[in-house]
Structure 1
Amino acid sequence: MRYRLDVVGPSVRDVVTFAGGFVVDRVMAGWDVTVLVDGAEDLRALEILGVELQDLEGALTMWADRPHPHTVAVAAEMFAADARVRRGVLEALDHGLTEVTLWGERCPAELDDSVDAVHHRLSAAARAFKAQALGAIGSAGVDVGDSETFRCGAMLQPSVAADLIPAS
Protein backbone atom coordinates (compact mmCIF):
# COMPACT_ATOMS: atom_id res chain seq x y z
CA MET A 1 0.00 0.00 0.00
CA ARG A 2 1.31 3.42 -0.95
CA TYR A 3 0.51 6.50 1.06
CA ARG A 4 -1.53 9.20 -0.66
CA LEU A 5 -1.31 12.97 -0.34
CA ASP A 6 -3.84 15.30 -1.96
CA VAL A 7 -2.77 18.94 -2.21
CA VAL A 8 -5.55 21.52 -2.72
CA GLY A 9 -4.48 24.98 -3.78
CA PRO A 10 -5.74 28.01 -5.69
CA SER A 11 -2.92 27.78 -8.24
CA VAL A 12 0.23 25.93 -9.22
CA ARG A 13 2.20 29.00 -8.07
CA ASP A 14 0.70 28.81 -4.58
CA VAL A 15 1.37 25.08 -4.21
CA VAL A 16 4.98 25.42 -5.36
CA THR A 17 5.65 28.49 -3.21
CA PHE A 18 4.18 27.24 0.04
CA ALA A 19 4.33 23.43 -0.14
CA GLY A 20 6.74 22.56 -2.96
CA GLY A 21 9.46 21.11 -0.74
CA PHE A 22 6.99 19.15 1.39
CA VAL A 23 5.53 17.67 -1.79
CA VAL A 24 8.95 16.68 -3.17
CA ASP A 25 9.95 14.98 0.07
CA ARG A 26 6.71 12.98 0.09
CA VAL A 27 7.21 11.96 -3.57
CA MET A 28 10.78 10.88 -2.80
CA ALA A 29 9.47 8.82 0.14
CA GLY A 30 7.25 6.88 -2.29
CA TRP A 31 3.95 8.67 -1.76
CA ASP A 32 1.40 9.16 -4.53
CA VAL A 33 0.89 12.94 -4.60
CA THR A 34 -1.95 14.61 -6.49
CA VAL A 35 -2.25 18.38 -6.78
CA LEU A 36 -5.79 19.68 -7.21
CA VAL A 37 -6.05 23.19 -8.68
CA ASP A 38 -8.67 25.06 -10.65
CA GLY A 39 -8.00 26.04 -14.23
CA ALA A 40 -5.38 25.32 -16.84
CA GLU A 41 -1.88 26.43 -15.96
CA ASP A 42 1.64 25.71 -17.09
CA LEU A 43 2.35 22.28 -15.65
CA ARG A 44 6.17 22.32 -15.90
CA ALA A 45 6.54 23.23 -12.23
CA LEU A 46 4.42 20.26 -11.14
CA GLU A 47 6.35 17.96 -13.46
CA ILE A 48 9.55 19.13 -11.76
CA LEU A 49 8.05 18.33 -8.36
CA GLY A 50 7.04 14.87 -9.61
CA VAL A 51 3.33 15.10 -8.88
CA GLU A 52 0.13 14.33 -10.73
CA LEU A 53 -2.33 17.12 -11.51
CA GLN A 54 -6.07 16.78 -11.31
CA ASP A 55 -8.76 19.36 -11.93
CA LEU A 56 -10.11 20.61 -8.60
CA GLU A 57 -13.71 20.86 -9.75
CA GLY A 58 -13.75 17.29 -11.06
CA ALA A 59 -12.07 15.94 -7.94
CA LEU A 60 -14.51 17.72 -5.62
CA THR A 61 -17.47 16.42 -7.61
CA MET A 62 -16.20 12.84 -7.24
CA TRP A 63 -14.69 13.28 -3.75
CA ALA A 64 -16.87 10.62 -2.10
CA ASP A 65 -15.89 8.07 -4.78
CA ARG A 66 -12.13 8.71 -4.56
CA PRO A 67 -9.96 6.68 -2.19
CA HIS A 68 -9.35 8.81 0.89
CA PRO A 69 -5.80 10.14 1.15
CA HIS A 70 -3.67 9.68 4.26
CA THR A 71 -2.88 13.41 4.25
CA VAL A 72 -4.59 16.44 2.75
CA ALA A 73 -2.62 19.68 2.41
CA VAL A 74 -4.86 22.68 1.81
CA ALA A 75 -4.31 26.39 1.23
CA ALA A 76 -6.09 28.28 4.00
CA GLU A 77 -7.60 30.55 1.36
CA MET A 78 -9.25 27.52 -0.27
CA PHE A 79 -10.73 26.53 3.09
CA ALA A 80 -12.29 29.99 3.33
CA ALA A 81 -13.39 30.28 -0.31
CA ASP A 82 -14.90 26.89 -1.15
CA ALA A 83 -17.60 25.33 1.03
CA ARG A 84 -16.80 21.84 -0.30
CA VAL A 85 -13.13 22.15 0.67
CA ARG A 86 -14.13 23.53 4.06
CA ARG A 87 -16.57 20.67 4.65
CA GLY A 88 -13.92 18.09 3.64
CA VAL A 89 -11.32 19.58 5.98
CA LEU A 90 -13.73 19.75 8.91
CA GLU A 91 -14.88 16.15 8.34
CA ALA A 92 -11.29 14.96 8.17
CA LEU A 93 -10.47 16.75 11.43
CA ASP A 94 -13.60 15.37 13.12
CA HIS A 95 -12.91 11.78 12.09
CA GLY A 96 -9.19 11.98 12.86
CA LEU A 97 -8.24 9.44 10.18
CA THR A 98 -6.72 11.83 7.65
CA GLU A 99 -3.93 14.20 8.56
CA VAL A 100 -4.90 17.76 7.62
CA THR A 101 -2.14 20.24 6.85
CA LEU A 102 -2.88 23.88 6.01
CA TRP A 103 -0.65 26.63 4.68
CA GLY A 104 -1.13 30.33 4.22
CA GLU A 105 -0.89 33.65 5.95
CA ARG A 106 -4.03 33.31 8.03
CA CYS A 107 -5.31 30.12 9.52
CA PRO A 108 -9.09 30.25 9.83
CA ALA A 109 -10.01 31.20 13.42
CA GLU A 110 -12.47 28.32 13.70
CA LEU A 111 -9.53 25.90 13.36
CA ASP A 112 -7.37 27.43 16.09
CA ASP A 113 -8.30 24.68 18.56
CA SER A 114 -7.91 21.89 15.98
CA VAL A 115 -4.54 22.61 14.40
CA ASP A 116 -1.05 23.42 15.66
CA ALA A 117 1.89 25.09 13.93
CA VAL A 118 4.44 22.63 12.49
CA HIS A 119 7.55 22.83 10.35
CA HIS A 120 8.70 20.51 7.62
CA ARG A 121 12.48 20.58 7.30
CA LEU A 122 13.31 20.32 3.59
CA SER A 123 15.82 17.79 2.35
CA ALA A 124 18.59 19.04 0.06
CA ALA A 125 16.76 17.44 -2.87
CA ALA A 126 13.49 19.15 -1.93
CA ARG A 127 15.25 22.53 -1.85
CA ALA A 128 16.82 21.88 -5.26
CA PHE A 129 13.61 20.70 -6.92
CA LYS A 130 11.56 23.49 -5.34
CA ALA A 131 14.08 26.05 -6.62
CA GLN A 132 13.74 24.64 -10.15
CA ALA A 133 9.94 24.63 -9.90
CA LEU A 134 9.99 28.24 -8.68
CA GLY A 135 12.08 29.10 -11.74
CA ALA A 136 9.48 27.43 -13.97
CA ILE A 137 6.76 29.73 -12.57
CA GLY A 138 8.90 32.84 -13.01
CA SER A 139 10.17 33.11 -9.45
CA ALA A 140 13.80 32.18 -10.05
CA GLY A 141 16.16 33.36 -7.34
CA VAL A 142 13.56 33.28 -4.55
CA ASP A 143 15.11 31.96 -1.34
CA VAL A 144 13.78 28.45 -0.78
CA GLY A 145 14.74 28.28 2.89
CA ASP A 146 15.34 25.25 5.08
CA SER A 147 11.74 24.57 6.07
CA GLU A 148 8.09 25.19 5.28
CA THR A 149 5.53 26.10 7.93
CA PHE A 150 2.06 24.63 8.17
CA ARG A 151 -0.82 24.20 10.59
CA CYS A 152 -1.55 20.53 11.17
CA GLY A 153 -4.53 18.73 12.72
CA ALA A 154 -3.96 15.89 15.14
CA MET A 155 -4.97 12.38 14.15
CA LEU A 156 -6.61 9.76 16.37
CA GLN A 157 -4.11 7.20 15.13
CA PRO A 158 -0.36 7.77 15.00
CA SER A 159 0.63 10.02 12.11
CA VAL A 160 2.30 8.61 9.02
CA ALA A 161 4.09 11.95 8.71
CA ALA A 162 6.96 11.89 11.15
CA ASP A 163 8.60 14.69 9.16
CA LEU A 164 6.29 17.38 10.58
CA ILE A 165 7.62 18.75 13.86
CA PRO A 166 5.94 21.15 16.30
CA ALA A 167 6.87 24.76 15.62
CA SER A 168 6.99 25.84 19.25
Structure 2
Amino acid sequence: MAQPSHQVPERIPVTLVVNGTKRDLDLAPWTTLLDALRDHLNMTGTKKGCDHGQCGACTVLVNGRRVNSCLTLAVIKDGAEITTIEGLAKDDALHPLQQAFIDHDAFQCGYCTPGQICSAAGLLAEGRAKNADEIRELMSGNLCRCGAYPNIVAAIQQAMGRP
Protein backbone atom coordinates (compact mmCIF):
# COMPACT_ATOMS: atom_id res chain seq x y z
CA MET A 1 0.00 0.00 0.00
CA ALA A 2 1.42 3.39 -0.97
CA GLN A 3 2.00 6.00 1.69
CA PRO A 4 0.12 9.26 1.16
CA SER A 5 2.48 12.03 0.14
CA HIS A 6 2.51 15.24 2.08
CA GLN A 7 3.47 18.39 0.29
CA VAL A 8 5.68 20.72 2.27
CA PRO A 9 5.02 24.29 1.24
CA GLU A 10 8.01 26.06 -0.26
CA ARG A 11 7.33 29.27 1.64
CA ILE A 12 5.07 30.33 4.49
CA PRO A 13 4.08 33.94 5.22
CA VAL A 14 5.30 34.99 8.67
CA THR A 15 4.87 38.29 10.48
CA LEU A 16 7.33 39.19 13.21
CA VAL A 17 7.46 42.41 15.21
CA VAL A 18 11.21 42.92 15.48
CA ASN A 19 12.37 45.68 17.80
CA GLY A 20 8.97 47.35 17.46
CA THR A 21 8.74 47.16 13.66
CA LYS A 22 6.31 44.82 11.92
CA ARG A 23 8.16 42.68 9.38
CA ASP A 24 6.40 40.45 6.84
CA LEU A 25 8.45 37.55 5.51
CA ASP A 26 7.96 34.54 3.26
CA LEU A 27 10.10 31.77 4.73
CA ALA A 28 10.85 28.14 4.13
CA PRO A 29 9.14 26.20 6.95
CA TRP A 30 12.49 25.05 8.37
CA THR A 31 13.95 28.57 8.71
CA THR A 32 15.09 29.21 12.26
CA LEU A 33 14.36 32.49 13.97
CA LEU A 34 18.12 33.10 14.02
CA ASP A 35 18.39 32.68 10.24
CA ALA A 36 15.29 34.82 9.67
CA LEU A 37 16.85 37.61 11.73
CA ARG A 38 20.34 37.39 10.25
CA ASP A 39 19.74 36.30 6.66
CA HIS A 40 16.34 37.81 5.86
CA LEU A 41 16.26 40.94 8.05
CA ASN A 42 19.99 41.73 8.20
CA MET A 43 19.87 41.85 12.02
CA THR A 44 23.41 40.56 12.51
CA GLY A 45 23.82 41.48 16.17
CA THR A 46 22.39 38.10 17.11
CA LYS A 47 25.23 35.60 16.69
CA LYS A 48 25.31 32.05 15.40
CA GLY A 49 27.54 30.10 17.74
CA CYS A 50 27.06 26.37 18.10
CA ASP A 51 23.75 26.17 16.16
CA HIS A 52 22.66 23.50 18.68
CA GLY A 53 21.25 25.60 21.55
CA GLN A 54 24.23 24.96 23.81
CA CYS A 55 26.13 28.28 23.82
CA GLY A 56 23.47 31.02 24.06
CA ALA A 57 25.12 33.34 21.51
CA CYS A 58 21.80 33.44 19.62
CA THR A 59 19.65 34.45 22.61
CA VAL A 60 16.89 36.96 21.85
CA LEU A 61 13.71 37.93 23.67
CA VAL A 62 10.43 36.57 22.30
CA ASN A 63 7.44 38.24 23.91
CA GLY A 64 9.80 39.23 26.72
CA ARG A 65 11.17 35.73 27.36
CA ARG A 66 14.68 34.66 26.47
CA VAL A 67 15.00 31.95 23.84
CA ASN A 68 17.72 30.33 21.79
CA SER A 69 16.80 31.54 18.34
CA CYS A 70 18.84 28.79 16.65
CA LEU A 71 16.39 26.19 18.03
CA THR A 72 13.21 28.12 17.30
CA LEU A 73 11.42 27.88 13.97
CA ALA A 74 10.39 31.33 12.77
CA VAL A 75 6.99 30.11 11.53
CA ILE A 76 6.09 29.09 15.08
CA LYS A 77 6.64 32.66 16.26
CA ASP A 78 4.28 34.23 13.71
CA GLY A 79 2.96 37.45 15.29
CA ALA A 80 5.50 37.41 18.13
CA GLU A 81 7.42 40.41 19.43
CA ILE A 82 11.14 39.82 19.03
CA THR A 83 13.75 41.96 20.76
CA THR A 84 17.34 41.66 19.62
CA ILE A 85 20.45 43.40 20.91
CA GLU A 86 19.78 46.16 18.36
CA GLY A 87 16.39 46.85 19.96
CA LEU A 88 17.41 47.23 23.60
CA ALA A 89 18.68 50.80 23.38
CA LYS A 90 15.97 53.48 23.41
CA ASP A 91 16.18 57.04 22.11
CA ASP A 92 19.95 56.88 21.59
CA ALA A 93 20.42 55.79 25.23
CA LEU A 94 22.00 52.44 25.96
CA HIS A 95 19.98 49.89 27.89
CA PRO A 96 21.23 49.74 31.51
CA LEU A 97 22.70 46.30 30.82
CA GLN A 98 24.60 47.55 27.78
CA GLN A 99 26.06 50.37 29.88
CA ALA A 100 26.85 48.01 32.74
CA PHE A 101 28.72 45.65 30.38
CA ILE A 102 30.83 48.63 29.28
CA ASP A 103 31.34 49.85 32.86
CA HIS A 104 32.54 46.42 34.02
CA ASP A 105 34.45 45.48 30.86
CA ALA A 106 32.24 42.39 30.72
CA PHE A 107 33.56 41.15 27.39
CA GLN A 108 36.77 40.38 25.61
CA CYS A 109 36.14 39.20 22.07
CA GLY A 110 32.50 40.32 22.30
CA TYR A 111 31.04 37.43 20.31
CA CYS A 112 28.85 36.17 23.13
CA THR A 113 27.95 39.67 24.37
CA PRO A 114 24.66 40.19 22.46
CA GLY A 115 23.33 36.86 23.69
CA GLN A 116 24.61 37.51 27.21
CA ILE A 117 22.91 40.91 27.33
CA CYS A 118 19.61 39.67 25.89
CA SER A 119 19.64 36.74 28.29
CA ALA A 120 20.40 39.08 31.19
CA ALA A 121 17.51 41.35 30.12
CA GLY A 122 15.22 38.32 30.29
CA LEU A 123 16.73 37.37 33.64
CA LEU A 124 16.00 40.83 35.05
CA ALA A 125 12.42 40.67 33.79
CA GLU A 126 11.97 37.26 35.43
CA GLY A 127 13.03 38.73 38.78
CA ARG A 128 14.27 35.40 40.10
CA ALA A 129 17.96 36.16 40.65
CA LYS A 130 18.69 37.72 44.03
CA ASN A 131 22.46 37.24 44.32
CA ALA A 132 25.61 36.41 42.34
CA ASP A 133 25.17 32.64 42.73
CA GLU A 134 21.64 32.81 41.35
CA ILE A 135 22.81 35.02 38.47
CA ARG A 136 25.50 32.48 37.59
CA GLU A 137 23.02 29.61 37.72
CA LEU A 138 20.32 31.35 35.69
CA MET A 139 22.85 32.58 33.10
CA SER A 140 24.52 29.17 32.78
CA GLY A 141 23.11 28.65 29.28
CA ASN A 142 25.25 31.50 27.96
CA LEU A 143 28.87 30.54 27.44
CA CYS A 144 31.85 32.87 27.22
CA ARG A 145 35.02 31.30 25.86
CA CYS A 146 37.09 34.29 27.02
CA GLY A 147 36.14 33.78 30.67
CA ALA A 148 34.66 37.20 31.42
CA TYR A 149 32.15 35.63 33.83
CA PRO A 150 33.07 37.66 36.96
CA ASN A 151 32.65 40.90 35.01
CA ILE A 152 29.40 39.69 33.42
CA VAL A 153 27.97 38.89 36.87
CA ALA A 154 29.11 42.30 38.16
CA ALA A 155 27.45 44.03 35.20
CA ILE A 156 24.18 42.20 35.80
CA GLN A 157 24.33 43.07 39.49
CA GLN A 158 24.84 46.75 38.58
CA ALA A 159 21.81 46.64 36.27
CA MET A 160 19.83 45.00 39.09
CA GLY A 161 20.87 47.79 41.43
CA ARG A 162 22.72 45.33 43.69
CA PRO A 163 26.39 45.35 44.74
**Shorter-normalised TM-score: what interval?**
under 0.3
Which is strand-richer, 1 or 2?
Answer: 1
Normalised TM-score (structure 2): 0.28
Which is higher, the Rg of structure 1 or of structure 2? 2
Higher RCO (Cα < 8 Å, 6 or more apart): 1
